[in-house]
Each structure stands twice: as structure tokens, then as C-alpha cells.
């Protein structure tokens, strides 16, 4: 399958990514677009 952005990570989050999401959510609240912008390769 061809994708528009082949550099996007697919599949499960790593433990480090999960920890980052939790920390960012504590800082930013429900601003998910701001959180996603701080997770390289994820949307």
C-alpha cells in the first residue's frame, strides 16, 4: 500500500511514547493536536 507519509509510525506505542503522552497531557490537558505535534512520527 502507498501512503502519503511513509515516515509515520504505525502500530503500538512504545513505553517511552506512552510516558510522553501522559506527561504532555498533564502539561497541556486535552490539546491533542499540541500533544501530537510533540510526538515525532505520530499523528
What pLDDT does 8 receive?
A: 75
Cα 8 to Cα 28, 29, 30: the distances in Å are 23, 24, 22
C-alpha cell at 43: 499523528
pTM assigned to the model:
0.73
What pLDDT does 3 receive?
A: 63
Q: Is the model more confident about 38 or about 4?
A: 38
Q: 13-43: CATH homologous superfamily?
A: Homeodomain-like (1.10.10.60)
Q: What is the Cα–Cα distance from 7 to 20, expressed in whole angstroms?
A: 20
pLDDT in tens, 8-35: 777 899 999 999 999 999 999 999 999 9
Q: Is the model more confident about 41 or about 9?
A: 41
Amino acid at each position: 500500500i502507498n501512503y502519503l507519509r511513509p515516515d509515520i509510525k504505525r502500530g503500538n506505542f512504545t513505553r517511552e511514547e506512552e510516558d510522553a503522552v501522559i506527561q504532555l497531557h498533564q502539561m497541556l490537558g486535552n490539546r491533542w493536536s499540541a500533544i501530537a505535534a510533540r510526538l515525532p512520527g505520530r499523528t
